[in-house]
């Protein structure tokens, strides 16, 4: 079997890359180690930057997004028992974010790929990458006990943090930067109306809390928890009680509780691998970087990576120019590090750290007070949250 680009991973990065390459007339195949339902069952953040929406529009996969997605002009920061609205649309002269679950983005991309009858192999086992230092790389995998080999021009490693692609690079050819946070997020999904029209990010002495949503009838809530916690220790009632302790009185009055339809604990990490290109292998999305979810950047960074990569590959095939692929890593990492900084900063001002002493708590409070009282600080938060330009 042969193709121009072999894509490893059918998450948002791999699927969006596949559709962009198809739009540019570049043949590609996706190898995914899980089945379709498993990929769709993963619950992830659902805040889309306008750039991400634009890419989905470019590949004709934005119809349901525009029908069902919620446009948000702002967010609220809660601290000191009060809520403060950040008018991001005003601060960025018109930019907004769209609330639309990552699961739905993935579903729409999968449906589009199937409709176009593009090649995707689910349950692909033992994927291995070969000769990506040459101009004839190959990918091997097994399916139903049969081994296969794909000859290709390029390999796109879109296989996430635990994927095989980054692990296939020699240790001395890659440098990693990491910060593991000393807490986790306990998240709950419930068929209940959101507590407020926009997202609420709360800094409380008991810990961070976030009120988010998937639609007008489905809500997503998080509370900061210990890394020693196990989800079985958290009954729904215990979760709702803790959430109420961290919210302002008005939010508590409006909170509609209900049975969890999903509940899980996720660790928080900042991670970047440099570079993002190794000969004919390119890393994109979580395969190359991880952000704490506080800034809702994970999906959006996957989108900007594959925008840069697809544009570079179009240039390679269309104009016989290697300029784009040679510049891919630098260009992608420039935007990745700005999102890493923003995500780290949002996490640092909103969470209680083990070493958050009285002084640190006052500094956090001063940071938050400055944020909500300064147009310049509000604009800085807003332009990062809605998404920096590509």
Residues annotated as part of the active site: 72, 201, 293, 297, 385
Q: Which of 315, 308, 313 is nearest to 285 (CA)?
A: 308
Give yes or no for residue 184 binding ligand APR (CB under 6 A).
no
Is the CB of 32 or the CB of 73 nearer to ligand APR?
Answer: 32
Report if residue 298 touches ligand PHB, rule: CB under 6 A: no
Binding mask 12-51 for ligand PHB (x = CB under 6 A): ---------------------------------xxx----
Q: How far is the CB of 160 from ligand APR (least distance, A)?
A: 3
For residues 368 and 79, is the Cβ–Cβ distance under 8 A?
yes
Report what 73 binds from ligand PHB, ligand APR, none; CB cut-off 5-8 Å by kind. Answer: none
Both tokens of 38, joined, read 């498993």
Among 158, 339, 349, 386, binds ligand APR (CB under 6 A): 158
DSSP state of 256: P
Binders in 182-201 for ligand PHB, by CB under 6 A: 199
Question: Residue 124, interface with ligand APR (CB under 6 A)?
Answer: yes
For residue 121, the partner it binds in ligand PHB, ligand APR, none, with Cβ less than 5 to 8 A by kind, is none
> Which is it for the CA torsion 105, 111, 116, 121, positive or negative?
positive
Q: How far is the CB of 199 from ligand PHB (least distance, A)?
A: 6
From 135, 126, 164, select the one nearest 14 (Cα to Cα).
Answer: 164
Q: Is 343 left (phi over 0), alpha (psi -120 to 50) or beta?
A: alpha
Exposure string (b/e) for 250-265, b if CB count within 10 Å is 16 or more?
ebeeebebeebeebeb
Q: In what order do the strands lie in the sheet with 97-99?
A: 47-48, 97-99, 70-72
Stretch that binds ligand APR, among 27-35, 180-188, 320-328, 357-365 (CB under 6 A): 27-35
Give residues in contact with ligand APR (CB under 6 A): 8-14, 31-34, 39, 44-45, 102, 124, 127, 158-160, 163-164, 285-286, 298-299, 302
């Amino acid at each position: 079997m042969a193709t121009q680009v072999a894509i490893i991973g059918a998450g948002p990065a791999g699927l969006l890359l596949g559709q962009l390459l198809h739009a540019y007339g570049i043949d590609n195949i996706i190898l995914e180690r899980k089945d379709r339902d498993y990929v769709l069952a993963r619950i992830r953040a659902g805040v889309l930057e306008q750039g991400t929406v634009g890419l989905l529009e470019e590949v004709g996969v934005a119809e349901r997004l525009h029908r069902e997605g919620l446009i948000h002009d702002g967010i609220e920061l809660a601290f000191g028992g009060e809520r403060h609205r950040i008018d991001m649309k005003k601060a960025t002269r018109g930019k907004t974010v769209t609330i639309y679950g990552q699961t739905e983005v993935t579903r729409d991309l999968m449906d589009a790929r199937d409709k176009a009858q593009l090649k995707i192999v689910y349950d692909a086992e033992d994927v291995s990458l070969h000769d990506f230092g040459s101009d004839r790389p190959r990918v091997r995998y097994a399916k139903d006990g049969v081994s296969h080999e794909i000859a290709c021009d390029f390999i796109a490693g879109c296989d996430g943090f635990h994927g095989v692609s980054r692990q296939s690079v020699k240790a001395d050819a890659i440098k990693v930067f990491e910060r593991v946070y000393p807490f986790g997020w306990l998240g709950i999904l419930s068929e209940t109306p959101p507590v407020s029209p926009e997202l609420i990010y709360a800094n409380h002495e008991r810990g961070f809390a976030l009120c988010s949503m998937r639609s007008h009838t489905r809500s997503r809530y998080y509370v900061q928890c210990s890394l020693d916690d196990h989800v079985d220790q958290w009954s729904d009632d215990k979760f709702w009680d803790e959430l109420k302790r961290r919210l302002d009185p008005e939010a508590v009055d409006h909170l509609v509780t209900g049975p969890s339809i999903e509940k899980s604990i996720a660790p928080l990490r900042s991670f970047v691998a440099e570079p993002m290109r190794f000969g004919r292998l390119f890393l994109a999305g979580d395969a190359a970087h991880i952000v704490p979810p506080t800034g809702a950047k994970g999906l959006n960074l996957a989108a900007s990576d594959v925008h840069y990569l697809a544009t570079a590959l179009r240039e390679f095939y269309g104009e016989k120019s290697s300029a784009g692929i040679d510049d891919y890593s630098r260009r992608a990492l420039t935007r990745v590090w700005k999102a890493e900084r923003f995500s780290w900063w949002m996490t640092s001002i909103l969470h209680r750290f083990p070493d958050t002493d009285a002084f640190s708590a006052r500094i956090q409070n001063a940071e938050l007070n400055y944020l909500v009282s300064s147009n310049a600080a509000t604009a800085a938060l807003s332009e990062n949250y809605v998404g920096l330009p590509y």
